[in-house]
Amino acid sequence: MGKKMITIGFSPAWDVVCKADGLDWGGHKVLAEKTTVPAGKALNISKALCGLGRASVAAGLWGADDYPRMRRYIERAFGGNKSATEDTEKKKNCNIELAMTVTEGATRENITVIDKSTGREMHLRDKSSLATKQNLSQLEKTLEKRVDEKSICVFSGAMPEGGLFEKAAAVIETCKAKGAKVAVDSSGEGYKKIVDKGGLWLIKPNVEELCVVVGRKIDDNSQALAEAAKPLLEKAEIVLVSRGKNGALAVTTNGVFESTVTEQREIVSTVACGDYFLAGFLNSVVQNNDIQAALSAAVKMGSQKAWGMAGK
């Protein structure tokens, strides 16, 4: 399958990870480590694909105030738009081509605080304010020019809410109309509405998100999850359910496939693990269309990210 991978994020972010020992309310600590990288679920998938040697187009929204900083990071770390001038074939293959719709304002920050002594994490999320009707219309025009029947469009991250939801949904419908395979990884009621519209190639809920999509509580066991996912095959060709340390399963009309985490290691951070999981599946499935092999690759990639063995 000679597919062009396009990742699209309505709600990008800078991932800020702060690590210290012995954190407690009211305390004062010097950070042992702090990292700040351009992210959001869609861009994370492009970064993970690059690590696997697969090129992609990173589209979606990004704030003008910090776009140059993001661009410099991507060009330095992942080949960026300048990879065609690089000498090594690896750099060329893993190019991330930036095709962002640059909007007024700054991109939000997602802050993760990790207590190194206990392994506990706290996640603090800014609200995203980049989506407007005008910006979403511009994004739709960008995708109209780039998307065709050879594209896989991966929409990942939070959906705009309120009056902006239908405009964001229209962007997804445009990619369907161009003949692309459309994958969606999101959450909340917006995710449920997108799934209900149908016509999707792949959806990737975790257990909690699957409960929202089907409208009921589901036990976290393979049989219950598979039975809940099967009716969704009327909406999507592949239902890919991530289960964290319990592995994952994929449900298609050809059957139910399962993969478990066979090795246990210390969890360094859970940030972006789901994105790397999805990238592992996409990279594998477009090579040989083998669902079981792709699921195993996905679990391996997500685990390596959690163990601190993958990603920038």
User: What residue ranges define each of the domains in the chain, with the CATH number in brackets?
Assistant: 4-24+33-306 (3.40.1190.20)
Interhelix angle for 41-51 vs 67-78, to 10°? Answer: 20
- Indicate the pLDDT class of residue 78, thresholds 50, 70 and 90: confident
Q: Which of 93-97, 115-119, 153-157, 195-199 has the lowest mean pLDDT?
A: 93-97
Average pLDDT rounded to a whole number, residues 119-136:
92
- C-alpha of 101 from chain center: 18
Query: What's residue 94's pLDDT?
Result: 66
User: What's the pLDDT band for 302 if we cut at 50, 70, 90?
Assistant: very high
| pLDDT band of 119, cuts 50, 70, 90 | confident
Question: How far lies 223's CA from each of 3, 226, 230, 257, in Å?
Answer: 33, 5, 11, 11
Report pTM: 0.91
Strand partners, 183: 154, 202
> Residues 195, 199, 202, 208: what is their CA dihedral angle, to the nearest 10 degrees?
10
| DSSP state at residue 117 | T
Q: Tell me 310's DSSP state.
A: S
278-288 residue pLDDT tens = 999 999 999 98
DSSP 206: B
SS3 content of the chain, % helix, strand, coil (to 5): 40, 25, 30
- The whole-number pLDDT of residue 81 equals 54
Distance CA 67, CA 69 (A): 5
Per the CB < 8 A criterion, the answer to whether 107 and 14 are in contact is yes
